[in-house]
Amino acid sequence: MANLGFVGLGVMGGEMVNRLLEKGHRVTGYNRTRAKAQRLIDRTMRWADSPRAVAEAAEFTFSMVTNSAALAAVTDGPDGILAGLSAGKLLIDMSTVSPEFSRALATRVREKGADMVDAPVSGSVITLQQGKLSVMVGGRRESFERIKPVLDDIGPKVTYVGENGLALSMKIATNLSLAVQMLAFSEGVLLAEKSGIARETAVDVLVHSAIASPMIQYRGPFILQMPPEAWFDVNMMQKDMLLALELGRQRNVPLPTTAVTNEFLTAARGMGKEKQDFAVVFDVLAHMSGVEK
C-alpha cells in the first residue's frame, strides 16, 4: 500500500481520502479547517499541521483545491507543499486550474527533484461513491505509470492524455458541457411545464429519455429539490466556464453555447444564488419565463 498525502479535504477530496483509506493506503492529510477533516482522522487518517508537513511525510502528495489562488496558497511559502518536496516524490494536483498555471507549477516542482502530474476528475460525489469516477492525467508517462495503481483505487477510468496541462484542457472541455446541458434540460422542462405538463412529470420523462446523460440523471431532479449542500456551486462552475472561454480564445475555437450559459451563471449570482448548485440556472430561466419555482 502507498504512503500518501492529501491537501484539500473538501467534499470531493474528503471522499477520495475515504476511498483510499478503505483500500488500505496510509494517508496524511491537511485542510485549512481541521473540523472538516475530523471524520477522516477518526478513520485513521494522520493529521498534518501544514501542506509542507504532508509532502514531507508522503511519497505521493495529492492536492485538490478550488482555484489557482488556492493552489498557490497551499504550494508556496515556507509551509507550502513545494517546501516539503524532495527528490523522487510526486505531486498529483487534482484541482481545476488554468493549464498555464499548472505547467508553471510543474516546472518549479521539478526544480526540487520531484515531479508533478495534473489529474483532474470528471464526476460528482455520487459517481465517486459509486466507483464510477473518471480521472484524466497529464505529465510524464513514467510518473503516470507510478501513480496509476493509486488512481485506480479512486476511479475505474484513468486515462493518460499527454504532457502537463493537457489533462486540465480535457477537464475544461468536459466541464463546459455540464452547465450547457443543464441549461438545455431546463429549457425542455419549462417548455413542457408552460404547455400544461406537471414539472415532476417532465423531469421524470427527460431523465429517462435519450437526452439523459449521467449528469442529467443525477442532477436533473435538483430542479424539484435542491440539495442542502451544493455539489458544485455557481461560483465553481463559472470559474470553469471562464477557463473554457479563455482557452477557446487562445485556441481560436468559438464556444457560443458556453458563452450564453455563462451569462445565466452571472444572472444566478446577481440573484444571490452563487452558493447553490449550478442546477439553479433553472431558477434563472424560470424567472425569465414568468414561472416561479
Can you give the pLDDT at residue 293?
66
* Burial (Cβ within 10 Å: 0-12, 13-18, ≥19) of residue 44: exposed
Mean pLDDT of 45-72: 96
- In whole angstroms, what is the distance from residue 191 CA to residue 70 CA? 40
Please name the CATH architecture into which domain 169-288 falls. Orthogonal Bundle (1.10)
171 is catalytic: yes
Q: Which of 48-52, 73-77, 103-107, 212-216 has the lowest mean pLDDT?
A: 212-216
What are 125-134's pLDDT values in tens digits? 777 877 778 9
Q: What is the mean pLDDT of the chain?
A: 95
All 3 cell numbers of residue 152?
Answer: 485506480
Q: Is the pLDDT of residue 2 over 90?
A: no
- Quote the distance between the C-alpha of residue 48 and its chain's center: 23
- In whole angstroms, what is the distance from residue 7 CA to residue 105 CA? 16
What are 220-277's pLDDT values in tens digits? 999 999 998 888 999 999 999 999 999 999 999 999 999 999 999 999 999 999 999 9
Can you give the pLDDT at residue 283?
97
Flag whether the pTM goes above 0.75: yes
* Burial (Cβ within 10 Å: 0-12, 13-18, ≥19) of residue 123: buried
- Residue 253's beta-bridge partner residues? none
Q: Domain 3-163 has what CATH class?
A: alpha beta
Which contacts qualify for 209-218: CB closer than 8 Å, 24 or more apart? 211/184, 211/185, 213/181, 214/127, 214/132, 215/124, 215/178, 215/181, 215/182, 216/181, 216/182, 216/185, 218/124, 218/126, 218/127
- In whole angstroms, what is the distance from residue 98 CA to residue 172 CA? 9
Q: Which residue ranges make up each domain of the chain?
A: 3-163, 169-288
What are 108-119's pLDDT values in tens digits? 999 999 999 999
What are 274-287's pLDDT values in tens digits? 999 999 999 999 99
- In whole angstroms, what is the distance from residue 228 CA to residue 291 CA? 22
Catalytic residue among 171, 239, 273, 275: 171
